[in-house]
Amino acid sequence: MFDFKHLRSSGSDRLGLVMILASLFAIALIVVTLLWHQKESQEKQIRAQGVSLAQMLSGLPYAQLVAPLGQQSLLGTIFQSQKDQNFAYATIVNKENQPVSVAAAPGITVPSMDWPATSAGWLSDRTVTTAKGENIIEFLAPVYADGAIAAYLRLGYILPGMGISFEQVPFFATLALIIFLLTPLFYLLVRNEIRPLRQANAQISTAIESEQFRQIELGATEELSDFLGRFTAFVDFAKQRIDSLEHEQEKLVTSKNLITYSKSRIENVLEAIPEAVLILDQSGNVCFANRRIGTILGVPHADVIGSEPSEWCDNAELLEVISRYSVEPEASYLSETARLQVGDKKQRQLSIKAYPLFSPTDSTSIYGSLIVFRDITRESAIQRQQGEFVAHVAHELKTPLNTLSLCTEALFDEGADDPESRVEAANIMHDEVERLAGLIDNLLSITKIETGQISVERQRLRLHDFLEDAFGVASRSDKAHDLTFELDLPADVTSIMADKDLLRIAINNLLTNAVKYSCPGGVVSMTCEETEQTVRILVRDTGIGIDPDEQGRIFDRFYRSENAEARQRSGHGLGLSLARDIVQLHHGTLTFTSTPNEGSEFVIEIWKEAGLLKQVI
Amino acid sequence: MKRILLVDDEPMVLRVMRRALEREGYQVDVAINGEEALAKISTSCPDVLVTDIEMPRISGKELCLQIQETMPDRKFPIFVSTSLTALEHREWSGKISNLVFLEKPISIRKLRSAIAELVEANLLAESYGS
């Protein structure tokens, strides 16, 4: 709102001072005008007098103008008869420019003069300044003797100034007095006329002070009342207009706040989503991008805003995709998957979807494109791993099934006639069924662990009895005939908190492997050691061992040794993977050392109760 | 007597199939992996090759591709046993002629008839060609 408060009355008391100054100015102007007019008329009179006198004297004979020595010259006589107080001098100069007759006013020195060079200067006038600074107008005229120019006549008059003569003082004083007397009269008249304006000013000032516009009421002349009426109406109109504008401004501010809030809310939502979002305007410039653009596309967020994609995108394939959507937004319904090398040179797989942005008021008008980038690298890897897992499972399941199928067919074809073939087929089928059952058990356990369906139900486990039992089962297995089993457990080995069923699977898998990969006459042993905070269970064999280049992969799911001897033993590549998962569920570690053709040692290390508590917390 | 080379990383499978095919009158040789198979093929070319596809080091797929590359004029048929039934797992075999996929579990009877069929077809082709 406009601030009227700084507007104050300029002070009506200055009116009197202004009028006095105006009257003084008027007096000065009148005096100067009168004196100028007086000077001009005197000059005109001098010129007329000088010219006529010069012409008259020029017509007289030289001898008459120049009197013999000792006699009064005509020039002197004329000079003496002159009443004009401006008459300065009259002189006759001969051709040698020597004065032959001079009549001058007291105190006036006749200035020197050059002889007129041409006839144009013979009858003329000029203005000269004397040594004392007086301005003289001089009239020249030739003087004839016997029909020829014998000399020159010079008449000089003092040019009048602007001064006031003593006689003029009363006139000017009277004039000034009249003007001074009229000044108060004018002042009173003007003050009477401006009184309503003062009243109006006072009311307006009050209205400004109170910040309330109201009707201005005062007694004034008809014209002034009319003017004030119109002025008041104008003020009312202005007030209404200001009120209206203020109302509109409030609405605009409210709308702006709402829009800002909505924009901020939408931007916050767009910032929160895990996808990178890019909004292009009609000209293809980026008008919005969330901060995920930095991590997914590998470009600084600040570089993207307000610029064309070509300015920040150095990936040709990505730029081609973005450009396609920005140039043809109507085709942006399409989505595609691209594998891109972005930013940190990391290969990423992106799902790119673009949508045209329609005008809210005109659904046929497109004003930009919304492009959403989703990093599906991890998803794709998981899908691929799942596919590979299923393929591995199919292979591992079909391998024993294949053997079973072949054996069954062999029994049908020739087994009935050949007892040796029948026994061999039965043995093979038994082994493969066991293998199949073990594979399915391990698969189920792994799936439960991976999907979180399994929970570790810890209970106090007497390790001595538990390990003795597991070792006994392994030593009585079908393939244990030619092996020596050594169990060395301290009688006072501590108890641990563990899931008995899960830990049994892990120990069984280690012992089964030890038996499976042992050679006839080999030794399978198990011991248990205690440290301050942990318990170590060691399973050793003197079997074929693991090649050094395979040792980094033996815990990989479905990995089976490429060693020919190892291949002779049936397996499915899940036992060690599952054993490690189970030990890790107990916050323990499974490590191993192995030497080819000498054997392997696997060590399960599990925390005792106190150490376990620290690990869990 | 036709000579068959069996390649599989499962000793059980090799043992059962060898016995069944020998009983059919074939001369059977076995290889436990792709490397061994390539070595045996380079020494003595078989009349039929039956190989598993998923094997360590050199897989059945690599074995077939290497045979195709080193022996472009190969005449013997190749049977590839696989547990992967999807077509995308078989696209690689498009340019290899005389190759048949066998889905696990393998039937000796079907293998026997397929071998007979292909061997007869090859013999016919050879006799017409000559």
Q: Which two tokens stand for residue A39?
A: 């000077």
Confidence bin at A611 (pLDDT 50/70/90): low
Which residues sit opposite B7 in a β-bridge?
A: B31, B51
Average pLDDT over residues A554-568: 77
Cis peptide before A548 (omega within 30 of 0): no
Q: Which residues of A touch B20 (CB under 8 A)?
A: 406, 409-410, 413
> What order of strands is seen across the sheet that includes strand A589-595?
A484-488, A523-530, A534-541, A599-607, A589-595
> According to the model, what pLDDT value does residue A1 have?
43
Distance CA B36, CA B45 (A): 13
Distance CA A591, CA A583 (A): 10
CA A82 to chain centre: 96
> According to the model, what pLDDT value does residue A215 have?
62
| Max CA separation in chain B (angstroms) | 41
> According to the model, what pLDDT value does residue A613 have?
63
Distance CA B120, CA A498 (A): 65
Tens-place pLDDT, residues A181-204: 888 888 888 888 777 777 777 877
Distance CA A419, CA A426 (A): 10
Tens-place pLDDT, residues A440-484: 888 888 888 878 777 788 888 889 999 998 998 888 877 777 899
Any CB–CB contact under 8 A between B32 and chain A? yes
> According to the model, what pLDDT value does residue A382 have?
80
Cross-chain residue pair B12–A432, CB shorter than 8 Å = yes
The distance of A422 to chain B (nearest Cα, Å) reads 12
Angle at A189 between CA A188 and CA A194, to 5 degrees: 95
Confidence bin at A536 (pLDDT 50/70/90): very high
Q: Which two tokens stand for residue B6?
A: 């069996």
User: What single-letter DSSP state applies at residue A74?
Assistant: H
Going through A6-109 in order, the beta strands assigned E by DSSP cover 87-94, 99-104
pLDDT higher than 60, residue A603? yes
The distance of B35 to chain A (nearest Cα, Å) reads 12
> According to the model, what pLDDT value does residue A320 have?
83
Q: Which residues of B touch A428 (CB under 8 A)?
A: 12, 15-16
Cross-chain residue pair B11–A568, CB shorter than 8 Å = yes
Other beta carbons within 10 angstroms of residue A55's beta carbon come to: 13
Distance CA B122, CA B129 (A): 10
Confidence bin at A220 (pLDDT 50/70/90): low
Mean pLDDT of chain A: 82
Kindly identify which residue of chain B lies nearest to residue A562, measuring between CA atoms: B56
Q: Which residues of A touch B33 (CB under 8 A)?
A: 562, 564, 567
How far from A172 is each of A24, A42, A113, A163, A169, CA to CA, in Å?
13, 19, 41, 12, 5
Q: Which residues of B touch A403 (CB under 8 A)?
A: 10, 12-13, 16
Helix or strand or coil: residue A179? Answer: helix
B interface test, pick of A392, A398, A402 with most B CB neighbours within 10 Å? A402
CA-based nearest residue to A578, from A547, A563, A556? A556
> According to the model, what pLDDT value does residue A217 have?
65
Distance CA A43, CA A224 (A): 52
Residue bearing the bigger pLDDT, A564 or A270: A270
What's the complex ipTM? 0.86
- Of the candidates A409, A414, A564, the beta carbon closest to that of B107 is on A409
Helix or strand or coil: residue B29? Answer: strand
The distance of B128 to chain A (nearest Cα, Å) reads 36
Rg over CA atoms, chain A: 65
The distance of B63 to chain A (nearest Cα, Å) reads 16
Cross-chain residue pair A406–B56, CB shorter than 8 Å = no
Distance CA A459, CA A128 (A): 141
Q: Which residues of A touch B105 (CB under 8 A)?
A: 398, 401-402, 404-406
Which residues sit opposite A459 in a β-bridge?
A: A498
Any CB–CB contact under 8 A between A394 and chain B? yes
Helices (H), A477-606: 500-516, 564-567, 575-585
Cross-chain residue pair A562–B56, CB shorter than 8 Å = yes
- On whether the CB atoms of residues A62 and A132 are closer than 8 A, the answer is no
Distance CA A340, CA A529 (A): 52
Distance CA B24, CA B7 (A): 18
Distance CA A569, CA B10 (A): 9
Cross-chain residue pair B12–A431, CB shorter than 8 Å = yes
The distance of B130 to chain A (nearest Cα, Å) reads 38
Cross-chain residue pair A406–B20, CB shorter than 8 Å = yes
Q: Which residues of B touch A431 (CB under 8 A)?
A: 12
Q: What is the pTM of this model?
A: 0.52
User: What single-letter DSSP state applies at residue A131?
Assistant: T
Cross-chain residue pair B57–A409, CB shorter than 8 Å = no
Cross-chain residue pair B12–A398, CB shorter than 8 Å = no
Cross-chain residue pair B108–A410, CB shorter than 8 Å = yes
Distance CA A155, CA A390 (A): 142
- On whether the CB atoms of residues A351 and A373 are closer than 8 A, the answer is yes
Please list the ranges in chain B whose pLDDT falls under 50. Answer: 129-130
Q: Considering only residues 457 to 476 of chain A, which have any Cβ-Cβ distance to chain B shorter than 8 Å?
A: none
Tokens 């004065």 found at? A99
Q: What is the DSSP string of B36-89?
A: HHHHHHHHS--SEEEEES--SSS-HHHHHHHHHHH-TT--S-EEEEES---GGG
- On whether the CB atoms of residues A366 and A330 are closer than 8 A, the answer is yes
Q: Which residues of B touch A560 (CB under 8 A)?
A: 56
Count how many Cα atoms sit within 13 Å of the Cα of residue A306 in the half-sphere of its side chain: 2
Any CB–CB contact under 8 A between A411 and chain B? no
Residue bearing the bigger pLDDT, A367 or A307: A307
A interface test, pick of B8, B9, B62, B104 with most A CB neighbours within 10 Å? B104
Confidence bin at A246 (pLDDT 50/70/90): very high
Q: Is A216 exposed, middle or buried (0-12, 13-18, 19+ CB in 10 A)?
A: buried
Distance CA A516, CA A592 (A): 17
Tens-place pLDDT, residues A133-177: 788 888 888 888 877 888 888 888 888 877 777 777 888 888 888
pLDDT higher than 50, residue A4? no
Q: Considering only residues 46 to 75 of chain B, which have any Cβ-Cβ distance to chain A shorter than 8 Å?
A: 54, 56-57
Size of interface A-B (CB pairs under 8 A): 77
Cross-chain residue pair A410–B84, CB shorter than 8 Å = no
Helices (H), A540-607: 564-567, 575-585
Confidence bin at A617 (pLDDT 50/70/90): low
Q: Which residues of B touch A414 (CB under 8 A)?
A: 23
A interface test, pick of B10, B14, B16 with most A CB neighbours within 10 Å? B16
Going through A225-312 in order, the beta strands assigned E by DSSP cover 276-281, 286-289
- What is the torsional sign of CA A151, A152, A155, A159? negative
Cross-chain residue pair A398–B83, CB shorter than 8 Å = yes
Confidence bin at A12 (pLDDT 50/70/90): low
- On whether the CB atoms of residues A347 and A339 are closer than 8 A, the answer is yes
pLDDT higher than 60, residue A392? yes
Going through A255-380 in order, the beta strands assigned E by DSSP cover 276-281, 286-289, 335-342, 346-358, 366-375
Any CB–CB contact under 8 A between B16 and chain A? yes
Distance CA A277, CA A270 (A): 7
Cross-chain residue pair B106–A405, CB shorter than 8 Å = yes
User: What single-letter DSSP state applies at residue B127?
Assistant: H
> According to the model, what pLDDT value does residue A305 have?
87
Distance CA A289, CA A369 (A): 12
- Of the candidates A395, A397, A431, the beta carbon closest to that of B54 is on A395
> According to the model, what pLDDT value does residue A147 have?
77
Estimate the share of chain A in helix, then strand, then coil, as percent rounded to the nearest 5. Answer: 50, 20, 30
How far from A615 is each of A225, A385, A510, A536, A583, CA to CA, in Å?
98, 31, 25, 17, 14
- On whether the CB atoms of residues A456 and A584 are closer than 8 A, the answer is no
- On whether the CB atoms of residues A586 and A600 are closer than 8 A, the answer is no
Average pLDDT over residues A335-358: 74
Kindly identify which residue of chain B lies nearest to residue A394, measuring between CA atoms: B83
> According to the model, what pLDDT value does residue B4 have?
93
Tokens 């797929």 found at? B61
